[in-house]
Amino acid sequence: MVEHDSSALDEVFHALSDPTRRAMLRRLSAREHTVGELAEPFAMSLAAASKHVKTLERARLVRRKVRGRTHVCGLNPTPLAEANEWLRFYERFWAGRLDTLEALLRAEDAATPTNTERKKRR
């Protein structure tokens, strides 16, 4: 397993734990947005939106540029890739459990008579 900076990963997962911040990241995946544009769909103040953006910045998920009085945010996908890599280590556990579940369901289906077979028995 590839080792990652634990505190950086903690910041990423903390930032992703909030649905508003996840929605902001999704919007930023299409293009850059101002903080005001990021706040629009949530009926929140610029101050509240700015706090969310600061959390995303601490996690390095967002880069903010100041153009005059306007703050423009863009997505930085690198920390998401690092979090995904960390999660992929555990994928083998999920895959193994899903394979076991599939085998159990197939065995159950094979052991259960179909409606046609039940009617023939009558």
**Digit-coded pLDDT (tens) for 100-119:** 888 888 888 888 876 666 55
Question: Which of 12-16, 106-110, 118-122 shows the lowest per-residue confidence on average (mean pLDDT)?
Answer: 118-122
Average pLDDT over residues 39-45: 93
* Contact yes or no for 53/4 (Cβ under 8 A): no
Q: In this prediction, what percent of the chain has a pLDDT beyond 90?
A: 63
Q: Is the pLDDT of residue 29 over 90?
A: yes
Domains and CATH numbers, the chain: 1-110 (1.10.10.10)
Instruction: Name the band, by pLDDT with cuts 50, 70 and 90, for residue 61.
Output: very high
Average pLDDT over residues 5-30: 94
Instruction: Name the band, by pLDDT with cuts 50, 70 and 90, for residue 41.
Output: very high
At 116 the pLDDT is 61
Q: Is the pLDDT of residue 90 over 70?
A: yes
**Residue with token string 């929605």:** 23
Average pLDDT over residues 38-59: 95
Q: Is the pLDDT of residue 9 over 50?
A: yes
